Structure 1
Amino acid sequence: MIDILICIIYILMGARWILKRVKMEAISAPTNWKIIILKFLIWLIAPLEIFIYIYFYNSERVRIFLGASVMLLYLIETQLLFNEMSKAIVESNIDNREKDVKHILERRKFRVQLGIICFGIIAFIALLVGVMPD
């Protein structure tokens, strides 16, 4: 019963996040279909990781390799989502606050790149663990 409730909450919160407007600090922009598709693909990462963990319970190396591959896929999707969100914010900049927008985007870009580096290191270590002999 609890697992069904968790799944329902995950679906509802994911749907809310997918359809939410693009917002970075004080600047918001309307979403477009590319952003919705990228958010949907990112939303599918957690169920895919759980499926890999459950379905490949006998094969540790396959599970580690697929898990690390999904993490790398998440990193690519995150960078693509950031690029699309940046485009949407720049296009909807009606107030001509270009300096503010550029400053906010630069700070957010640094945070996204830092997250990508950290997840990349974790995925690389996971791949090394999968390749190393027992």
Structure 2
Amino acid sequence: MIDTLMCIVYIFVGAKWVLKKVEIETISAPTNWKIIVLKFLIWLVVPSEIFIYIYFYDSGIVRIFLGVSVMLLYLIETRLLFNEMSKAIVESNIDNREKDVKHILERRKFRVQLGIICFGIIAFIALLVGIMPD
């Protein structure tokens, strides 16, 4: 019962996030189809990881490699999403606050890069664990 409820909540919250407009701190912009597709692909990361965990229960190495590949795809999608969101914000900047927009985007870019580096390290360690003999 709880599992079904969690899945339903995940679907509704994810759908709301996918269709939400672009917001970075105090700046907002309308969304476009590229952003919606990238958000949808990012939204599918958790179900695909759960599927890999359940379906490949007997093969740990395959599970690690598939899980790491999904994590790496997530990192690529996150970077592409940030680039598209930045383009949308810069294009919709009608207040001529270029200095503020650039400053906010630089801070957010640093946080995205830091997250990518951390996930990359985790993926690398997972690959090492999968390659190393028992």
1:28 aligns to what SS in structure 2?
strand
User: 1:9-62 CA deviation, whole Å, 9 max, x = no partner?
Assistant: 000000000000100011000000000000000000000000000000000000
Q: Which residue of the partner structure matches residue 4 of structure 1?
A: 4
Query: How big is the alpha-carbon RMSD for the aligned residues of Structure 1 and Structure 2?
Result: 0.4
Name 1:98's counterpart in structure 2: 98
One-letter amino acid of the counterpart of residue 59, structure 1:
S
Give the letter aligned to residue 57 of structure 2. Answer: Y
Which 4+ residue blocks in structure 1 deviate beyond 6 angstroms?
none
**How far apart, in 2, do the equivalents of 1:3 and 1:26 lie?**
36
Can you give the 5+ residue segments of structure 2 that lack an aligned partner in the other structure?
none
User: Normalized against structure 1, the TM-score is what?
Assistant: 0.99
Question: Percent identity of the aligned residues?
Answer: 84
Which position in structure 1 is the counterpart of 2:14? 14
CA distance in 1, matches of 2:73, 2:127: 14
Q: Give 1:2 shift.
A: 1.1
- Partner Cα separation in structure 2 for residue 22 and residue 85 of structure 1: 6
After superposition, where does 1:86-125 map in structure 2 within 5 Å?
A: 86-125=86-125
**Following TM superposition, by how much is the alpha carbon of 1:108 offset from its aligned partner in structure 2, in angstroms?**
0.1
Gaps of 5+ in 1: none
Quote the Cα distance in structure 1 between the aligned partners of 2:131 and 2:125. 10
Structure 1 residue aligned with 2:27: 27
Amino acid at match of 2:34: K
1:75 alignment partner in structure 2: 75
Question: Match of 1:23, SS?
Answer: strand
For residues 56 and 37 of structure 2, what CA distance do their matches in structure 1 show?
A: 28
Amino acid across the alignment from 1:81: L
Aligned residue pair count: 134
